[in-house]
Each structure stands twice: as structure tokens, then as C-alpha cells.
Chain A
């Protein structure tokens, strides 16, 4: 059995290239896909497709005429694996695969500088969670009212970081400790509104918040037996309700 490994821009191209080298047709071979390849991101990180094509032993499956030619071929060609690099020029000039986290870092820096607020980015990776901390002069511009700009940027960052990875990352974007300050504010708000709910004996609805901010409220009141919390409404206008326990 003769085997050959070939590469190409797509799986199909790789298979074609292997068939040419083996001088055979598609139905006489077994194709094993080693790597599907990647299209790449901004021209970076593209990976060629790699396939392993094995000539099926002709004896059992092909008519006798073909067996003869097949056997002849096998006499002249030694039965070894040949690695053929059939990469196109394009993929040779391409840079090695880039880290999606580095791409995201560059993305947020580019946006900030286009907004006229150059920043430094401090990145920490904690499992699936990637934390970006922005440090710079005009940080208020990047946070916006109630962090709405920061949340928008975080969402865009989340999209780009997950664009070309198999892994799923959660992007957390923070600026000058904003998230921690916000957390403290929300916890104070939670305890104040829980008292209000108890005093009036009525449900208290909070304003719409993104999921991780709602989570802060739920967590803050989790151990408070006198009230219970739940979320209502649909994204992006989902909000927390604090209700006195019965």
C-alpha cells in the first residue's frame, strides 16, 4: 500500500495534489484528513489543509487489467511514505499562527487610539477567562455612562477573540478598576433596595443590566433570607426583581 501526505489551501486541493502525485483517481484511494486547515484571521494564522491519501491495495477491489499496472507501479516505486510539501506561495509568505489573545489586545489598542485615548493593555488569562485591563489618560471616555462604552467594547472584543478559535473565551474588559468599583456600587444598591422591598412589602424592579451585573445583585442577596431575587424581561433589557420572601 502506498501512502502520501499532501497539503493544500483546502481539503479538496490537498486531495487533488495527492492524486496527481500518485497518478491515480479518487475512487482508488482512501483519504484521511489530518488537518482541515484554517482560513486565517486578517491574513494571519491560516493553516494549510493536510490529508493522508492511501492507495487501496488493488488486488481485491479492481479488475485484473488494473491490477497488472498497479503491480508494475509498485515494483518501481518503493513502498514508503513520502511527505510532499505542496504549499502555495501565499501560505509560505504568511506569518505563523497568531494568538487570538494578542489579536484582541491589538484590536482594543487600535480602537482606543482611534478614539483619541491611547491606552496600555494588561492582559491576564485565567482558564477560559481573559481579563484585559486598560491603563491610560482619557479612560473616562472609554468607560462611558454607567460603563456602556466599556460594555460595548467588551462585547466587540468578545466577538473578535472567539472568531477563529475552537476554544471559547470570555473576555472581561476593565479600566482603572471600574468593574470593582461598579461591583461595590451594585452591592450597596442591592442591600438598600432589599430594605425598601421589605419596608413596602412590594417587589422592587431594578433598571436593565447586563448579565454579569445582575449576577452581582443575585449573589449579594443570596444569603439574605428575607428577600428573594429573580430576573425578568428579555435581553438586552433584562432586569433583576427583589421580592420579599413569604
Chain B
């Protein structure tokens, strides 16, 4: 899942080396926390959060067969 998030975000940003995905597993959910370079924040959120929404849709679809609920935090 971590690899998927990185694959998606990589070509969207100017500083791919600064992409960081932290995983926090809780009792009933797994939270992925995505951070990118300060200058790239807009590129992963987009106008009205359109890009963020698209990233979440894909990530949640991939996590649909896991038992725990998946969340993606951006920044």
C-alpha cells in the first residue's frame, strides 16, 4: 500500500525524493500519512482537493479487501 501511494504521487511532484509515507496502525484502522516537499503541497491536493480526492479514491479501492479501514492523511 505504501508503494502504491508513492507510485501515484511520484510523477505529480517536483521533488520525488521528499515524498514520505508514514504508517500508523490502530485497532480498527490503518492511517497512512503522506508528506511532500513544501512546494509540492498544491500538486498533491489540487484545486478544491481534486487531486487529493483522486488519490484517496484509488488508495481506498486498493484497500477494500483488507479487514481494517484505511485512511490517507495528506500533509
Contacts and interface: CB of A to CB of B under 8 A. Distances in A.
B10 interface: yes
Interface in A97-156: 103, 107, 110-111, 114-116, 141-142, 144, 148-149, 151-153, 155-156
Contacts of A142: 61
A111 B58 contact: yes
Nearest to A115: B62
A190 B37 CA distance: 46
A153 to B, nearest CB: 6
Most buried by A among B10, B12, B61: B61
A26 interface: no
A77 interface: no
Interface in B1-21: 3-4, 7-8, 10-12, 16
A107 B62 CA distance: 16
Given A152-B54, A160-B11, A114 B16 contact: no
A8 B12 CA distance: 26
B54 A116 contact: no
A153 B53 CA distance: 11
B23 to A, nearest CB: 15
A243 to B, nearest CB: 28
Given A148-B57, A152-B53, A155-B50, A111 B16 contact: no
Chain A contact residues, majority secondary structure: helix
A159 interface: yes
B48 interface: yes
In the A-B complex, list the 3 residue pairs whose CB atoms are closest, starting with the nearest. Answer: A114-B4, A152-B57, A152-B54
Contact of B61 (A107, A149, A160): A149
Most buried by A among B11, B48, B53: B11
A42 B11 contact: yes
Contacts of A149: 57-58, 61
A151 B54 CA distance: 8
B62 to A, nearest CB: 4
Given A141-B62, A153-B54, A159-B12, 8 more contacts: A41-B11, A42-B16, A103-B11, A111-B7, A111-B8, A152-B57, A156-B8, A160-B11
Interface string A38-55: 000110000000000000
Contacts of B57: 144, 148-149, 151-152
A114 B61 contact: no
A236 interface: yes
Contact of A107 (B3, B4, B11, B54): B11
A163 interface: yes
Contacts of B50: 155, 236
A111 B62 CA distance: 10
A155 B54 contact: yes
12 contacts: A42-B11, A103-B11, A107-B7, A111-B4, A111-B8, A114-B3, A115-B58, A115-B61, A141-B62, A152-B57, A152-B58, A153-B58
B51 interface: yes
